[in-house]
Structure 1
Amino acid sequence: MADPQAGARGPPEPQAETLVEPARVNGSTAEATLSGTELAWRPTGAIRDSGERRKLELESDVLGFQVEGRALKVATFARGDDARPPSPLGCGGGGGERKRGELVVEMESEEAAQRWGEAIGDRFAALGRPKRLLIIVNPYGGNKGGRKVFQTEVLPLIEAAGIHYIMQETTHRLHAQEIAHSLDLQKYDGIICVSGDGILVEVVNGLLQRDDWSTAIKVPVGIVPAGTGNGMVQALLHSAGEPFSMSNAVFAIIRGHKRALDVTSVVQGKTRFFSVMMLTWGLVADIDIESEKFRWMGSARIDFYSLLRVVNLRRYNGRILFVPAPGYERFGDPVEQTTSYKSDGASNTMEEGTSNVCNDVTCTYSGPSVDEADLKWRSLNGPFVNAWISNIAFASEGVMIAPQAQFADGYLDAAIIKDCPRSVALGLLLRMKDGSYIESPYVEYFKVKALRIEPGLRVGSSTIGGIIDSDGEVLARGDVTQTADEPEHLMAYGPPIQLTVDQGLADIFSPR
């Protein structure tokens, strides 16, 4: 029977020509073959099925190449076979850590080498690898190691891949957002952040504040971990079964794979913030923000301050309203009617929200269009220890907060820790490494289409509230510890804050 989809797919793409050439491979005579995206070689005279055939997959094992006279020099970045020392001749199979190497294929003539170089270049182009990148380096994040990471981890691999780049360092808060907002995007195939997660979020916000936001947000973004949390890199590499490392993050960008990424509009009145990771309120936000004074400790500051906060566990009054995803309608209690709310005199009905906000000068993105009349809301009442609303599985390399989260399913994963004893809270923190904390009876874990937080005061206080933190940015603060040099926050603590998801709006470089 004929394939009913054959007409819709169109004619098959022509197959790349297979090249076969006698050559010297790393000094040994061999027969070299380029078939599809596989570069293979066999020692001269070897029996075809003798097991002496070696290969490299251009897509997954090769950084780049260059032609020098009769020599084709291939820069490799492949896993070595655990049974023998890693070597370029052992590429193309086995497990283990990726190692850099070089394969030199010396042809019989310069014309042959040039022909092979052009063929490999065409195959790389078909794979969608980036040719020009803007690399934004945050020299202040984490342990202030952004410059070193760029020089030692990023630059060698980027140069080996033959990618042209412009590097720009951030000098102040929201600088990356300003860069993305004014950038000539036609000059680049992607924007890379050498930083923690915060710079990535700044870039996304900058792209969505442009008047050409609908095309700008499709410029793929990428991230190389040089911060404290690095949750996005961990989530991306974990989804592909890749170990967490800077070099694996860089190679994922070089390979050019992209995946869609949900963008969440976080709204209070007329104020909007665009999130691609998570929002926290309660224990985790307190730890993340208040531990800043111990930044000199590096990533250990999180563990240290977590213990301090559990010893003096805070609980917060408030209410969380949400529209459950299909299959999660059993969580919470039904709300008879939820309409638009007003904050500082500004209506925040999502029925008003269209895909953009236009005036005589600009037209920028304002979040997804949602008719709230069609939404069936439910609610959870406090007190709460923590509310974690996430689009990705990990908050950092060692913290899995939302084990069922997906990058572009159109839903947010809510993990709500209800009032619990200190001993339980400590146990939950320890079980966040593998995500098993969500199995606790003190945790409500469910997916939502939209969510609204109505934050209250700390239990036992008539004046002190908490911190609402989104992707490392303090959105609202209701405590009394704000310092004079801390920037003014985007939102007020107390009025409702609503989150709605635009499915797959952005693109991000991914291992697969």
Structure 2
Amino acid sequence: MEQPENPAEQPIVSDRVIINGSETPLTLTADGKLRMWERGQRCLTVKKEVLGFVTEGSKIRIRAVVKGGGAGICCVASKGALVRKDFVFQPLSNDSLNLWSQKLRQYIDSLGKYLNFLILILTINFFLVGTGNGMVKSLLDSVGYPCTAPNAVLTIIRGHKRSLDVATILQRETKFFSILMLAWGLVADIDIESEKYRWMGSARIDFYGLQRILHLRQYNGCVSFVPAPGFETYGEPTSYPNKSTGKPDSCNPSEEESIKVRHHGYQGPNIDLENLEWRTISGPFVSVWLHNVPWGSEGTLAAPDAKFSDGYLDLIIMRDCPQLALMSLMTGLNDGSHVKSPHVTYLKVKAFVLEPGPQTKEPTKEGIIDSDGEVLARGKGTYKCDQKAPMAYDKLQIAVHQGLATLFSPL
């Protein structure tokens, strides 16, 4: 067999083996390709497709995950769902069997394939639970993979990593760390209040979203922010709004009764917020939405320009918007085109302060602040107002720590 000129294609081990009853050449190359010649050349990419192997008597069984839709294991496969597939071959001698076992083990070990199973299980839970799965959708979509459970699990098994920004939400002495999003107004109302229809599955979001558009609420309030470069013209200049109103949680009679989160260790990014250039936008608002990654759920491309670790949050603001235009705008969430609407303000921010107020039409009722799909604060008159929340419905501050967290990534 002719030797390749490319060093990456040089064989680590090459020998004749038996596959499906036929004797055929098999080669493991330096770049991790397992090539065979059976009804034409086929191969496995060890780094991307091989989970491990086991020796069964005189045979070696390679456990792999490959794309479905094609016959056998191929270097180039049609785009489709990932499926488990085992590849079995039999070396012609014990010496060859031992050599193949040694070289395969050495190559797989060099990739760090052996993961801690406890971490693996915990991380799978992170990927596969919840209605929206916005984080896993963002990760898989970044490399063009469908958002499926097999793809999410394979992402963990491969062990590749990428950095992720972390937002610290601060209200007086209470801190909350967010990796996905924060919402107030329409988006938060739909996300939290639709819980009463959880039996409908993900359809509850569309169903309740239509109800909320038909009975649209607007909220008084104010947002202040430190814009990213290129977004300095948004809003009006202001100073750092650093003092809380000190108002107790209007849903809970005593602020001391609110849940207190104690932090030992990391306390948030070390940023001199007071000396940054702040801007402000006043309400009333239909919705205020901060996003750390592009997708809010599998079907909601909330922030099409968001990056995993650029050090900024994407801010999406909706103010005056007629109901008919809002229905059209909401359909644009599927592909991110909503950010081009004249009723939407879309920019990137380094830090952010939210000062939430009451509903414009019913001033005795306030709103909900939602972070990563969980209630952060409940104002008076809101859904399940009697339940305690981590924070009061009051001014809160958000700052971003670039690349603080690490995620398993497809590539």
TM over 0.5, shorter chain: yes
Q: Which letter maps to 1:417?
A: M
Query: What secondary structure is seen at the aligned counterpart in 1 of 2:177?
Result: strand
Q: Distance in 2 between matches of 1:363 and 1:497?
A: 21
Contact 1:87 1:101 in 2 (8 A): no
Q: Distance in 1 between matches of 2:368 and 2:385?
A: 17
1:376 matched to 2:277? The reply is: yes
Contact 1:133 1:192 in 2 (8 A): no
Query: What secondary structure is seen at the aligned counterpart in 2 of 1:18?
Result: strand
Q: Distance in 2 between matches of 1:451 and 1:258?
A: 28
Q: Distance in 1 between matches of 2:242 and 2:127?
A: 40
Give the CA deviation at 1:284: 0.7
1:439 matched to 2:370? The reply is: no
Query: What secondary structure is seen at the aligned counterpart in 2 of 1:503?
Result: strand
Give the CA deviation at 1:332: 1.0
Query: What secondary structure is seen at the aligned counterpart in 1 of 2:86?
Result: strand
The equivalent residue for 1:490 is 390
CA 1:481/1:415 → structure 2, altered by over 3 Å: closer, same or farther? closer
The equivalent residue for 1:105 is 89
Query: What secondary structure is seen at the aligned counterpart in 1 of 2:321?
Result: coil
Q: Distance in 1 between matches of 2:384 and 2:272?
A: 40
1:229 matched to 2:160? The reply is: no
Q: Distance in 1 between matches of 2:290 and 2:191?
A: 15
Pairing partner for 1:367 from 251, 256, 268: 268
Q: Distance in 2 between matches of 1:469 and 1:298?
A: 19
Q: Distance in 2 between matches of 1:364 and 1:40?
A: 50
Equivalence map 1:66-77=2 (5 Å): 66-77=54-65
Pairing partner for 1:35 from 29, 32, 40: 29
CA 1:104/1:396 → structure 2, altered by over 3 Å: closer, same or farther? same
Contact 2:13 2:29 in 1 (8 A): yes
Give the CA deviation at 1:130: 4.2
Pairing partner for 1:23 from 4, 17, 21: 17
The equivalent residue for 2:50 is 62
Q: Distance in 1 between matches of 2:267 and 2:13?
A: 52
Contact 2:168 2:268 in 1 (8 A): yes
Q: How many residues align?
A: 389
Deviations 1:2-30 (A, max 9, x none): xxxxxxxxxxxx99971011101233211
Pairing partner for 1:307 from 207, 210, 230: 210
Contact 2:288 2:316 in 1 (8 A): yes
Contact 2:51 2:113 in 1 (8 A): no
Query: What secondary structure is seen at the aligned counterpart in 2 of 1:399?
Result: coil
1:79 matched to 2:63? The reply is: no
Equivalence map 1:55-454=2 (5 Å): 55-80=43-68, 86-88=70-72, 90-97=73-80, 98-134=82-118, 191-194=122-125, 223-335=126-238, 337-342=239-244, 344=246, 363-454=264-355
Give the CA deviation at 1:101: 1.6
With normalisation by structure 1, the TM-score equals 0.72
Deviations 1:182-215 (A, max 9, x none): xxxxxxxxx4142xxxxxxxxxxxxxxxxxxxxx
Deviations 1:384-427 (A, max 9, x none): 11111000111110011000001111100001111211111111
Q: Distance in 1 between matches of 2:117 and 2:308?
A: 23
CA 1:504/1:497 → structure 2, altered by over 3 Å: closer, same or farther? same
Give the CA deviation at 1:473: 1.5
Larger CA deviation: 106-115 vs 315-324: 106-115
Q: Distance in 2 between matches of 1:193 and 1:64?
A: 19
CA 1:465/1:253 → structure 2, altered by over 3 Å: closer, same or farther? same
The equivalent residue for 2:259 is none
Contact 1:70 1:112 in 2 (8 A): no
Give the CA deviation at 1:96: 2.2
Deviations 1:140-177 (A, max 9, x none): xxxxxxxxxxxxxxxxxxxxxxxxx6x6xxxxxxxxxx
Deviations 1:439-484 (A, max 9, x none): 0011000000001111111112222111100001111111413437
Q: Distance in 2 between matches of 1:345 and 1:492?
A: 8
CA 1:292/1:76 → structure 2, altered by over 3 Å: closer, same or farther? same
CA 1:279/1:75 → structure 2, altered by over 3 Å: closer, same or farther? same
Q: Distance in 1 between matches of 2:391 and 2:242?
A: 17
Deviations 1:252-271 (A, max 9, x none): 11111111111100111110
CA 1:67/1:16 → structure 2, altered by over 3 Å: closer, same or farther? farther
Give the CA deviation at 1:70: 2.1
Give the CA deviation at 1:99: 2.6
Q: Distance in 1 between matches of 2:127 and 2:393?
A: 33
With normalisation by structure 2, the TM-score equals 0.89
Contact 2:193 2:383 in 1 (8 A): no
Query: What secondary structure is seen at the aligned counterpart in 1 of 2:213?
Result: helix
Contact 2:241 2:353 in 1 (8 A): no
Deviations 1:224-283 (A, max 9, x none): 323211111110100011011100100111111111111100111110000000000000
Whose relative contact order is higher, 1 or 2, with alpha carbons under 8 Å and at least 6 apart? 2
Query: What secondary structure is seen at the aligned counterpart in 2 of 1:450?
Result: strand
Q: Distance in 1 between matches of 2:141 and 2:362?
A: 41
Give the CA deviation at 1:111: 3.5
Query: What secondary structure is seen at the aligned counterpart in 2 of 1:319?
Result: strand
Q: How much identity, in percent, do the aligned residues show?
A: 43
Query: What secondary structure is seen at the aligned counterpart in 1 of 2:70?
Result: coil
Give the CA deviation at 1:52: 2.1
